[in-house]
């Protein structure tokens, strides 16, 4: 079995090699060999079906996924295959095919999520009639190895009506100098304000400074981006703004966060808080850290989105207040902030069709890892004790009911 796995992987690796060398003919030949082997392995049962599906998906060999999905009888096709095939259909901008595939997914919730996404497709991708003003905030700290790349990627954003506010948070590795010359990373029509703090004041306080220390009254949205992004789609801001416009009362929109590398790993997708209170803090519906196989390529109403790259409605942000500095350096600060949005009856939308990648977190020393674990545990205790358990439970129950009604209702 292992030999068959290696053979299939090797064929795809050769295909990628010739693709990078510009040899389209050899690339196509190896892809076809890999495709044929994958289908043979599937028919023979020589390797698990999910391995074949995932290999085809990650290598971008999507046509066989469609063929396999079509070959299966309704109600008998593997949900994993249908999920990947639906994501592949979305990736090639074919919502009709995606809808047809999604309707055959056995899991009712997963079927509804993809159905809603297909139904919203045209509206999600419709051009903006005008660009609302956006203020983009970037806080950076000791990221000399990747901050400039992240800023240059943000500078390639295909959106014109925005301004950038960046602050270095007491870096000691040269990041300060990168932040202070951020003006050169953005187009001439983008206003850029850069500053440097003399000491590290923590992530919550740093973002609060960027929010409260500037006049954002002209902005309709506030965007926040991390300083270690390695891949960002140029239309990310247009698509997040458009997503926000489609949901009344939307206060926040975020996307799928991947960890740089191959194969791509999901660091954060849709976040659903199920239970809240003592003694276990809170529980969430899905755990992340798995390979990205399109399992989160849909629109969803959630309780939290990752803070790596997301936008807020400015007025909603002003209503719930700043980030809580007691959650410094960062653990659970975004979860608590978004929980306040939920308690205020605001809508948070996850758009898994928008994805970005950011840098792998470097290995920590034992002492650093122990301290980080202590911060996680301590901030979780703070989160639970800060909010009234019954109030949170009632808010979560209301949100879950609203989400169920949205999934079952018309577009």
Instruction: Give bridge partners of residue 278 from the DSSP assignment.
Output: none
DSSP label at 29?
A: H
Please report the pLDDT score of residue 74 as a whole number: 42
| One domain for residues 98 and 189 | no
List, in sequence order, the alpha helices (H) in 285-332: 314-320
360 pLDDT band (50/70/90 cuts)? low
Backbone dihedral angles phi then psi of residue 85, each to the nearest 5 degrees = -65, -40
- Residue 384 placed within a domain: yes
| One domain for residues 110 and 206 | no
122 pLDDT band (50/70/90 cuts)? very high
Domain hosting 82: range is 2-124
**Nearest CA among 58, 64, 66, 81 for reference residue 9:** 58
Distance CA 228, CA 359 (A): 5
Distance CA 392, CA 388 (A): 6
First CA to last CA across the chain, in angstroms?
46
- Residue 410 placed within a domain: no
**Nearest CA among 183, 156, 405 for reference residue 301:** 405
Angle between helices 49-58 and 24-44 (to 10 degrees): 160
List, in sequence order, the alpha helices (H) in 21-157: 24-44, 49-58, 63-71, 79-91, 95-102, 108-124, 147-155
- Residue 411 placed within a domain: no
75 pLDDT band (50/70/90 cuts)? very low
| 3-class DSSP state of 275 | strand
Classify strands 273-277 and 191-197 as parallel, antiparallel or unpaired. unpaired
| 3-class DSSP state of 70 | helix
| One domain for residues 103 and 162 | no
- Residue 237 placed within a domain: yes
| One domain for residues 140 and 118 | no
| One domain for residues 42 and 158 | no
| One domain for residues 301 and 247 | yes
Max Cα-Cα span within the chain? 65
| One domain for residues 113 and 163 | no
- The count of structural domains within the chain is 2
| One domain for residues 177 and 61 | no
Distance CA 82, CA 88 (A): 10
Please report the pLDDT score of residue 229 as a whole number: 95
CA 204 to chain centre: 20
Classify strands 162-169 and 134-140 as parallel, antiparallel or unpaired. parallel
* Residues 196 and 179 sit within 8 Å (Cβ to Cβ): yes
Domain boundary among 124, 145, 180: 124
| One domain for residues 340 and 217 | yes
* pLDDT cut 70: percent of the chain above it: 94
The H or E element that residue 393 is part of is helix 389-408
| One domain for residues 283 and 194 | yes
Please report the pLDDT score of residue 2 as a whole number: 74
Please report the pLDDT score of residue 34 as a whole number: 83
Distance CA 133, CA 222 (A): 9
Mean pLDDT confidence for 347-360: 93
Distance CA 66, CA 39 (A): 12
- Residue 129 placed within a domain: no
Mean pLDDT confidence for 359-379: 73
363 pLDDT band (50/70/90 cuts)? low
* Residues 118 and 94 sit within 8 Å (Cβ to Cβ): no
Distance CA 205, CA 208 (A): 5
Please report the beta strands in 269-386, taking only residues with DSSP state E, as ranges in sequence order: 273-277, 281-284, 299-302, 309-313, 347-358
Domain boundary among 68, 98, 124: 124
What is the CATH number for 324? 3.90.550.10
- Chain-wide mean pLDDT for the chain? 90
Please report the pLDDT score of residue 274 as a whole number: 85
| One domain for residues 316 and 185 | yes
- Residue 140 placed within a domain: yes
**Nearest CA among 247, 255, 293, 280 for reference residue 403:** 247
Report cis status (omega within 30 of 0) of the bond before 80: no
Question: Which residue has better confidence, 368 or 381?
Answer: 381
- Residue 146 placed within a domain: yes
| One domain for residues 214 and 313 | yes
String of b and e for 190-213 (b: at least 16 CB within 10 Å)? bebebebbeebbbbbbbbbbbbee
Least confident range from 6-10, 154-158, 272-276: namely 6-10
Domain boundary among 124, 146, 176: 124
User: What tens digit of pLDDT does each residue of 24-36 get?
Assistant: 888 888 888 888 8
- Residue 295 placed within a domain: yes
Q: Could you write out the three-class secondary structure of 176-209?
A: HHHHHCHHHHCCCCCEEEEEEECCCCCHHHHHHH
User: What tens digit of pLDDT does each residue of 46-67 get?
Assistant: 778 888 888 888 888 888 889 8
Can you give the C-alpha Rg of the chain in angstroms?
22
């Amino acid at each position: 079995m292992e030999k068959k796995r290696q053979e299939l992987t090797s064929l795809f690796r050769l295909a990628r090699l010739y693709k990078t060398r510009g040899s389209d003919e050899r690339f196509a030949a190896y892809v076809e060999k890999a495709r044929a082997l994958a289908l043979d392995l599937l028919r023979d049962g020589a390797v698990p079906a999910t391995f074949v599906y995932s290999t085809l998906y990650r290598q971008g060999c999507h046509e066989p996924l469609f063929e396999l999905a079509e070959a299966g009888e309704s109600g008998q096709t593997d949900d994993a295959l249908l999920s990947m095939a639906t994501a592949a259909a979305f990736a090639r901008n074919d919502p009709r095919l995606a809808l047809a595939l999604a309707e055959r997914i056995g899991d009712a919730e997963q079927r509804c999520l993809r159905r809603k996404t297909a139904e919203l497709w045209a509206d999600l991708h419709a051009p903006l009639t005008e660009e609302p003003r956006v203020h983009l905030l970037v806080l950076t700290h000791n990221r000399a190895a990747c901050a400039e790349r992240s800023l240059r990627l943000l500078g390639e954003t295909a959106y014109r009506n925005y301004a950038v506010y960046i602050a270095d948070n007491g870096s000691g590795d040269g990041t300060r100098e990168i932040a202070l010359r951020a003006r050169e990373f953005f187009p001439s029509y983008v206003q850029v304000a850069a500053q440097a703090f003399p000491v590290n004041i923590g992530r919550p306080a740093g973002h609060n400074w960027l929010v409260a220390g500037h006049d954002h009254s002209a902005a309709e949205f506030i965007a926040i981006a991390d300083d270690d992004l390695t891949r960002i789609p140029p239309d990310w801001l247009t698509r997040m703004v458009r997503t926000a416009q489609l949901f009344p009362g939307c206060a926040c929109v975020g996307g799928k966060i991947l960890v740089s590398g191959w194969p791509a790993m999901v660091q954060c997708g849709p976040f659903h808080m199920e239970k809240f209170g003592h003694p276990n803090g809170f529980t969430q519906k899905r755990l992340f850290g798995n390979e990205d196989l399109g399992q989160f390529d849909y629109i969803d109403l959630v309780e939290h989105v990752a803070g790596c790259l997301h936008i807020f409605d400015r007025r909603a942000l002003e209503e719930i207040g700043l980030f809580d500095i007691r959650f410094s350096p960062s653990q659970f600060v975004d979860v608590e902030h978004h929980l306040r949005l939920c308690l205020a009856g605001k809508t948070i939308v996850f758009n898994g069709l928008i994805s970005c990648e950011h840098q792998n977190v470097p290995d920590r020393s034992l002492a650093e890892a122990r301290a980080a674990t202590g911060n996680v545990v301590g901030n979780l205790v703070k989160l639970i004790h800060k909010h009234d358990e019954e109030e949170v439970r009632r808010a979560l129950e209301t949100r879950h009911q609203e989400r169920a009604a949205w999934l079952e209702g018309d577009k």
